Structure 1
Amino acid sequence: MTKPSFPLAPRTALFLPASNPRAVAKARTLAVDMVILDLEDAVPEEQKAAARTAAVDAIGEGFGDRLLAVRINASDTPEHGEDVAAARGTGADFVILPKAEDAMQVNELCARVGIPVIAMIETPAGVLAGAEIAAQPRVAGLIAGTNDLRAGLRIPPAAGREGLALALQTIVLAARAGGCWALDGVFNALGDADGLAVECREGRAMGFDGKTLIHPNQLEVATRAFGPDASEVEEAEALVAAATGGAERFRDRMIEAMHVEQARELLARAHRPLA
């Protein structure tokens, strides 16, 4: 089945607890592409019901031009059904399903909630099922749940991302084969801007469209890393202007229609306004 047309993939996607009114209010002032109201990991058990109500209210107030998603609780939790019921019929653009492992389960959620789903790939089983999940018509994207993947793969906490490389690339491959977004996982060290920049560059080099974030102070670094720089924009503009069709020479290299399309996609991302 053909995928519907989804918005341009976000460069930045900020998780924030739906139970925190100050964080929700601040999100409306931030230069972020997508706000994710979290009902899952960021919310203590005793606040789940209040967070659900707060999320519905916050969605009703809106977040300007920013994309808006709600991360519900996993399908094997007591809160899942009520989260789905609350999200259905709101103005949210997407529902995010954590620990997705089964394409049929994801497809059923799409039908129940009535809006596109973004699937979090957080387990080895999820990685292996990623291509089938991404292929579902109403799945808009995959998010690499790197913290849970580390645990599931038994990677030591202090280790780098080398052990995640195959899983991360598999998530990108699945997303591209399924015609949807791929968003990189969060960076936990809030005070390490240099480390965040390195991880963002690494993620973009792998093919990810953007980065999921857990604090507003990470936005500038991630936006810069996943938005083309001035030299890339100049190159793309010149390539599009010079192309006349078919295979031809441009700045001492051969280009064809594929390169022109890539350049246009890059320019679309570069010219996307900050919220």
Structure 2
Amino acid sequence: MVFMSLRPRRSVLYMPASNPRAMAKATSLDCDAVIFDLEDAVAPEAKASARRAACEAVTSGNYGHRELVVRVNGVGTAWHEDDLAAVCQAGPDAITVPKVDSPEQLAALALRLSELGAPDRTRLWAMLETPRAILDADAICGACERLEAVVVGTNDLLAELGAREVAGRAPLGYALSAVICAARAHHLVALDGVYNDVHDQQGFEKECLAGRDLGFDGKTLIHPCQLAFANQTWAPSETQVERARALIATFEAALARGEGVVTFEGRMIENLHVETARRTLAMYDAIGAR
């Protein structure tokens, strides 16, 4: 069993790069990653100043353990090329590109990052938020080595599908599963879309739990009030950690005794269960090491 990066991405918080107070606040928030947004959250007249602010934040050294990502404006917009040129020089942990809908587009983006001098450590995060992107998710996920994560753009996807935003997200069921399957096939991180109503904590919690159970590695967020539950949801609990340690110990002891069949808590366990347990412990350690 091969797993994607074990860097925690439980809570990935969008911050408008045009809002200095919000960006400063992010230096002390308990999030795993910050996406400095140059796209939807920034008015056209503020694009240039937001771009400068995002690049300054990336190079400031003020954000501690937090993974720093910049979402640029989409391919074909008036700001895209200037965004890429500036952000590549700043060298964030990753660059998020909205509305990626073909493997050719993503491969061209990866090439452009290299041409613009982006460090090798600067990865690509692709937002899948169109019907075409969902149908081509497997090809997109395998399009280039620089790709590290895929993010479901649930708002845009709902709009393009002509679907309604309903509790439980039944209209997005196929799309969410397709993205997770494609990400896992290529050992990529898969991030769930945002929850829009910051006043509906119960709805947010249900959506987090459902996203975790589907297989997402974390959730993109729009407000600091959403951080705590996302962090809790995607972190191994103490009970899970204790169980993982016990499962591994039971399996290794049985192998040492030469037993061919191993049971734990009344159920047969195999290598895949041990690998999952080891991943649980590795994630627990990675969160603690932040």
Q: TM-score range by the shorter chain?
A: over 0.9
1:33 matched residue in structure 2: 32
Greater C-alpha Rg = 2
For residues 167 and 101 of structure 1, do their structure 2 counterparts lie closer, same or farther at Cα, with a shift above 3 Å needed?
same
Unaligned stretches of 5+ in structure 1?
Answer: none
| Cα deviation 1:148-177 (Å, max 9, x = unaligned) | 111111112456400101100001001001
- For structure 2, the residue ranges without an aligned partner over 5 or more in a row are none
From 120, 123, 128, the equivalent of 2:130 is 123
Q: What amino acid maps onto 1:180 in structure 2?
A: L
Residue 278 of structure 2 aligns with an amino acid whose one-letter code is R
- Sequence identity, in percent? 44
**SS across alignment from 1:77:** coil
What does residue 190 of structure 1 align with?
A: 198
Counterpart contact for 1:14–1:212, Cα < 8 Å: yes
Mapped contact 1:31–1:274 kept (Cα < 8 A): no
1:73-113 CA distances to partner (integer Å, 9 max, x unpaired)?
00020100001001112230000010010112112212222
Match of 2:224 in 1: 216
Indicate how the Cα distance of structure 1 residues 254 and 160 shifts in structure 2: closer, same or farther if over 3 A, else same: closer
| Cα distance in 1 between the residues matched to 2:11 and 2:110 | 23
Does structure 2 retain, via aligned residues, the 8 Å contact 1:117–1:139? yes
Deviates more, 1:156-165 or 1:232-241: 156-165
Partner of 1:109: 109
After TM superposition, the score normalised by the length of structure 1 is 0.94
1:206 aligns with 2:220: no
Q: Residue 144 in 1 paired to residue 152 in 2?
A: yes
Q: Is contact 1:131-1:174 (8 Å) kept?
A: yes
1:16 Cα deviation (Å)?
Answer: 0.5
Indicate conservation of the 8 Å contact 1:155/1:163, yes or no: yes
The aligned counterpart of 1:14 is: 13
Aligned partner of 2:180 in structure 1 is 172
Task: Please state whether the residue corresponding to 2:35 is helix, strand or coil.
Answer: strand
Deviates more, 1:102-111 or 1:91-100: 102-111
- TM-score, normalising length: structure 2: 0.89
CA deviation string 1:31-81 (max 9, x = no partner):
110110000011111100110011111111131111111000000201000
The Cα of 1:198 is off from its aligned counterpart by 0.4
Name the counterpart of 1:259: 273
- Structure 1 residues 43 and 239, CA gap change in structure 2 (3 angstroms): same
Report how many residues are paired: 272
Q: Give the Cα separation in 2 of the matches to 1:66 and 1:157.
A: 31
Given the superposition, is the C-alpha separation of residues 247 and 177 from structure 1 closer, same or farther in structure 2, using an over 3 Å criterion? farther
Q: 1:230 aligns with which of 225, 232, 238?
A: 238
The answer on whether the counterparts of 1:247 and 1:257 sit within 8 Å (CA) in structure 2 is no
- Name the residue aligned to 2:288: 273
Separation (CA, whole Å) in 2 of partners of 1:198 and 1:159: 9
What is the RMSD computed on CA atoms of the aligned residues? 1.7
Taking the aligned partners of 2:165 and 2:66, their CA distance within structure 1 comes to 33
